[in-house]
Structures are given as C-alpha cells and as structure tokens.
Amino acid sequence: MSGINLEVRGVRKAYDGHVAVDDVSFAVPAGAVYGLLGQNGAGKTTTIRMIMDILAPDRGEVHLFGRARRAEDSRRIGYLPEERGLYRKMTVTDHLLFLAELHGLPARVARPRVDSWLERVELAAWAKTKVEALSKGMQQKIQLVGTVLHEPEVLILDEPFSGLDPINQGLFKEMIADFKRAGRTILFSTHILEQAEKLCDSICLIAKGRVILSGELATIKRERGGDLFEIRFDQPSAPALDGVPGVLSATPHDGAVRLLLAPEARPAEVVAALVAGGARVASFRTLEPDLESIFLQAVRDAA
C-alpha cells in the first residue's frame, strides 16, 4: 500500500455560532500511524466525527481510499469513539457478533474471529456472560475487539488511551503495532503528547479548531530543531533569562534550563550576552525538541 489513504480537505463545522473546526486539512499516508493532537476542546473529536460521517461538515470534504467518502466506507473503518459503551444486557459473544454484523460481517465469518479474539484477550471464559457482569477493564477489551473484528483497513481511535487501565494500554499498543505491521492505517487523537511522540509517524496539531502544524514527525523535529537549547550554570541559582534578547522562553529542567530562542537569534550572541551579564555558563548545547515544546512554540507562532 502506498499513497494517501485518508484526506481531510478544508472542513469546517460550527455549532450555534461557535466555530469548532475551521478549515482543517491533513492527509494520512497509507500504513501510517497518524496522531491528531491538541488540547481538550481543540476540535479533534468534531474532526473525527466528520471523518466518520456522524457529523456533516459545513464546508470541505473527506476523502477515503483516494476518492470522496462514501457511506459504505464505514465498514472498512474501525472506529473507537472517545465515549465508549456497550449494551449491558447482551452477552459478550452476541454483542461482538452484533458489532461485526453492523460492519457487514455475517455471523458465520464473525464467529470464529470472535472466539479467537476472546482467546487472545483472555476472555474466552466470559463469552456467554452478560456485559453488565464484566469489570470495566474487561468491557474495554470487548470494545477494542469490537473495533477490529471486521479487520478494517483504517483504524480511527478517539483518545484511545483515556480511561484505559495499564494492562489494556499495553494490549492497545500491541494491537496498534500489529496493525502497523500489517500495513494498515491508524489515525488516533490524543492530548497526551508523550504518547503521540512514541507511537506516531506523522502528526497534525490542532488548536482552537485550526491546524497549526502537520507532517511527518521526523521532518518536523528536524525543521523545528535548532531553536531549542539546554544551558547549565556553574552557580547556585540560574540568572534571570527572560529579559535576554533572543530568548523566547526559559524553563528550568533537571538542574539545567531549557531555552527556546527566536529563529533570528544567534545562539553565540545569547551566550555572550549572558556571560557579559556575569553568568557562569558551564555548558550549552542544542536539543532535539520534544513534541511538547514544538507544540507550545507552534501555538505561540500561531497566536
């Protein structure tokens, strides 16, 4: 597989005068693990709901598999909403078969898959149990299995790790890795940037309903690198850094200080200015930026 599997083109959605998503565009390459990042309320869920055709965009369109989205495309997607639930009165097997049938999978095909998945997530003994009798962690497993039973080509997960217990987080990461190995495409949203950094190939950062940064994570880091430095001082407390020309932000970190410099600033001049001001600089080096600082800077740039 190659090319673009999922593309969002200039979508906009407003509720009662409040614009939740404004002109959002991004493209998810086939086989990628793609992170849709942003704080709560940034517009991630609205964007995903438009991809899932749950909400109709006011403007713009969604393309899947290289063409405009069709209603039946839903069957090729595995979707895990942020808010999750199951029918409490159904047995585990019946529920999974129902979810499979919703995606066009007949019971005769789905049944062996249900059995083997239940085996894999160690819930085979609960197959005939009603959902309401299961623990929360077990229900989460059922939801995960229900998302992938029909072997979707694209997985769309809205805040997949929120509320998951550690065991299920591990299971989930394993499943994402399996999917990636099988060459399938995964789009997931999160507000936890460390997670995205570990899992994603590409990202799209959204703030206040607008895209502020998108692309391959490695490229972004390379391009955004060079502005972030770590400085250590050979003195009990760091001197005031905020007023120094060229310094955008200074955050204490692990005994040192992280400096974000303005793109036009020259690092040597900043250090020279500090030394001239009486600071005793022990070390100064460039840092590979983490997603969080990229995010913060991008938000600042956009403002």
Partner 1 sequence: MRLDHVSTILKREYLTRVKSRGFWIATLVLPVAMAAIVVLPSVIAMKSRGSLRLAVVDELGGVAADLERRLAAPPAAPADGAEALAAGSSPDQRSAISIEAVELTADATALRAELDRRVLAGEVDAWIWISAAGLERDEVEYHAESVSNFMTQERLERALSRAVAQRRLEREGFDVERVTRLVRGVELETVRISETGSRKEAGLAGFFLAYFLFFLLYTVVAIYGQQVMNGVLEEKSSRIVEVLISTVRPSELMVGKLAGIGLAGLTQLGIWMVTMLALSTPGVLGAMMVAGGRLPTVSAGLVVHFLLLFLLGFFLFSSLYATVGAATNNAQEAQQFAGIVVPFLVAPVFFMVPVINDPDSTLSVVASLVPPFTPLLMMLRIAVKTPPAWQILLGYLLTAGFVAGLVWVCARIYRVGILMYGKKPTFGELWRWLRHA
Q: Per rule CB under 8 A, is residue 59 in the interface with partner 1?
A: no
CB of 85 to partner 1, least distance (A): 3
Judged by CB under 8 A, the residue of 12, 75, 173, 232 near partner 1 is 75
**Cα(133)–Cα(155) distance, integer angstroms:** 28
Q: How far is CA 97 from CA 113, 117, 144, in A?
A: 9, 12, 14
Q: Per CB under 8 A, does 17 bind partner 1?
A: no
Residue placing its CB nearer to partner 1 in the complex, 77 or 171: 77
64 part of the interface to partner 1, by CB under 8 A: no
Least gap, CB of 74 to partner 1 (angstroms): 5
Tokens of 2: 């190659």
Per CB under 8 A, contacts with partner 1 among 124-153 are: 146
Select 6 or 193, whichever has its Cβ closest to partner 1: 6
Contact flags string 103-122 toward partner 1, x per CB under 8 A: xx------------------
**Which is nearer to partner 1, 83 or 254 (by Cβ)?**
83
Q: Which residues pair with 212 in a beta bridge?
A: none
In angstroms, the Cα distances linking 122 to 113, 142, 171, 176 are 14, 11, 11, 18
DSSP code of 200? Answer: -
Binding region for partner 1 (CB under 8 A) out of 21-29, 99-107, 224-232, 237-245: 99-107
Residue 219 C-beta: closest distance to partner 1, Å: 32
**Full strand arrangement of the beta sheet holding 33-37:** 77-80, 154-158, 185-190, 33-37, 202-207, 210-216
Cα(245)–Cα(247) distance, integer angstroms: 6
As a three-state string, the secondary structure of 204-237 is: EEEECCEEEEEEEHHHHHHHHCCCEEEEEECCCC
Q: Given candidates 54, 182, 240, 272, which one binds partner 1 under the rule CB under 8 A?
A: 54
Q: Which of 58, 101, 197, 216 binds partner 1 (CB under 8 A)?
A: 101
Quote the least distance from Cβ 59 to partner 1, whole Å: 16
Nearest to 144 by CA among 208, 92, 192, 79: 79
Single residue of 14, 30, 52, 123 touching partner 1 by CB under 8 A: 52
Residues near partner 1 (CB under 8 A): 49, 52-55, 71, 74-75, 77, 79, 81, 83-90, 94, 98-99, 101-104, 146
